[in-house]
A and B are shown apart, each in its own frame.
Chain A
Amino acid sequence: MNRLASRLPAIVEQHQKEILAEWLSNQMTSGTWRSGRIPEAQLRDESQRFLSLLAQASQQSIEFDTRSTQWAEIREFLTDLSRSRATQGFTPTQVATFVFSLKQPLFKRATESLQSDPAALANTLWDATILLDALGLHTTEIYQQLREQLIARQQEELIELSTPVVQLWDGILALPLIGTLDSERTQVVMESLLERLVATGSSIAVIDITGVPTVDTLVAQHLLKTVAAAQLMGADCIISGIRPQIAQTIVHLGIDLSAVATKASLADAFALALKRRGLTVGRAATLGG
């Protein structure tokens, strides 16, 4: 790559002040930056920092591979920038425009300094384009990564939120399931239920599926797996909250739930659990008397 392209670092270095001034005024007048979310001083700081880092990095090498180490500092700077911009509610276009808007002043200077040498000018412009495009895309990539992290975190939280294991009585646990059961959720549900069984020494677990919208063969299989795992550990399961349509669906699909005790409501399941534990609940004999 060591060809006439090396003019780019020199241009950036020599005209740093003019480029910065022009770049800043461009950014201020463009609609994106008039939203007032970023104070002028901060924008000036950031632009200056970016430009000096760019000059520094391109001085060290004219190898325009933005993955190599001399670009690490500028990549880091852009990572921080897109992170702070993203939390302030900027769109990825607005963040990337920060980098892309440098092209205009840069190209202008290059054209002025290399008027006499069209070949060098073309090369310089080409290199500047590649470099700034790569850096601009980097900001977009970071922005996207942040979004993905956010989504992943929310998914995790959702999974944790929706699988509480509650203790109904000494030795009786309940697991009210809400939402569709997929493989991943079943795994979490199974683990948390089994762990609570051990922690509380409970021998009966009531799995309530009132909040599960549909039961297909897969969901039934997941339920049966949970029941089998609990049985292996020495605990019994009762499935409750089976709605009329779900009962019909289960029969139509030919799912065999005969190995598990099933009840229509959580109250019935609780009564059965108490009975199995040898407990009875009755009205106090001397109520009000």
Chain B
Amino acid sequence: MDRIPILKFENFLLVSIQVDMHDQLALTLQDDLTQKIVATRARAVLIDISALEMVDSFMGRMLGNIASMSRILDAQTVVVGMRPAVAITLVELGLSLPGIRTALNVDAGLALLRAAVERPDERVDGE
């Protein structure tokens, strides 16, 4: 069965979504990710969507859900690598991905997460 790999790096979890999401895959990812956060005591999750050419409302909601779940487990989430065309489409559709932090690339995302983990009381980005 399809499954999206989750990599552990220091105290971060790295997820790279490279295929179009469907319900089952999304559920599996949420399941795997929450278990992994608990098991590895990870403090932050980085989701790379640079391979995605399309993000629809389903994907947006799923990303939002993952961010909320991680927050409950005390892990910060950042979505990185959104393509320009995807951002334009989302804006045109009126989807602003509330509650999701974004960064341009993996470097910027890791820097953001490190800052967030070091200063857990402050919200780094204006949420």
Q: Which residues of A contact B (CB under 8 A)?
A: 187, 190-191, 194-195, 197-198, 201-203, 225, 228-235
Report which of B78, B84, B102, B107 forms a contact with A198, defined as CB distance below 8 A.
B84
Report which of A195, A198, A225 forms a contact with B91, defined as CB distance below 8 A.
A225
What's the least CB distance linking A203 to chain B, in Å? Answer: 6
Report which of B78, B102, B107, B112 forms a contact with A232, defined as CB distance below 8 A.
B102
A231 and B84 within 8 A (CB): no
13 contacts between A and B (CB under 8 A): A198-B83, A198-B104, A203-B108, A225-B91, A228-B91, A231-B102, A232-B87, A232-B90, A232-B97, A234-B79, A234-B101, A234-B102, A234-B109
CB-CB under 8 A from B109, the residues of chain A are: 234
Task: Let me know if B88 is at the binding interface, CB within 8 A.
Answer: yes
**CB interface residues, B 91-107, toward A, < 8 Å:** 91-92, 96-97, 101-105, 107
CB-CB under 8 A from B116, the residues of chain A are: none
Task: Let me know if B80 is at the binding interface, CB within 8 A.
Answer: yes
For the complex, give the distance between the alpha carbons of A234 and B87 in Å. 10
Given A229-B91, A232-B90, A194-B105 contact (CB < 8 Å): no
Main secondary structure of the interface of A (DSSP, over half): helix
For the complex, give the distance between the alpha carbons of A190 and B91 in Å. 11
CB-CB under 8 A from B103, the residues of chain A are: 203, 234
Residue in B closest to A195 when the chains form the complex, CB atoms: B84
CB-CB under 8 A from B29, the residues of chain A are: none
Task: Let me know if B66 is at the binding interface, CB within 8 A.
Answer: no
Given A201-B104, A202-B104, A234-B104, A190-B80 contact (CB < 8 Å): no
Given A225-B91, A228-B91, A228-B96, A233-B107 contact (CB < 8 Å): no
CB-CB under 8 A from A232, the residues of chain B are: 82, 86-87, 90-91, 96-97, 102
CB-CB under 8 A from A225, the residues of chain B are: 91-92
Other contacts beyond A201-B105, A229-B84, A234-B80: 18, CB < 8 A: A195-B84, A197-B104, A198-B84, A198-B105, A201-B108, A203-B108, A228-B91, A229-B88, A232-B86, A232-B87, A232-B91, A232-B96, A232-B102, A233-B82, A233-B87, A234-B101, A234-B102, A234-B109
CB-CB under 8 A from B97, the residues of chain A are: 232
Report which of B88, B104, B107 forms a contact with A191, defined as CB distance below 8 A.
B88
For the complex, give the distance between the alpha carbons of A191 and B91 in Å. 12
CB-CB under 8 A from B108, the residues of chain A are: 201, 203, 234
For the complex, give the distance between the alpha carbons of A228 and B78 in Å. 17
B87 and A194 within 8 A (CB): yes
Report which of A187, A201, A229 forms a contact with B90, defined as CB distance below 8 A.
A229
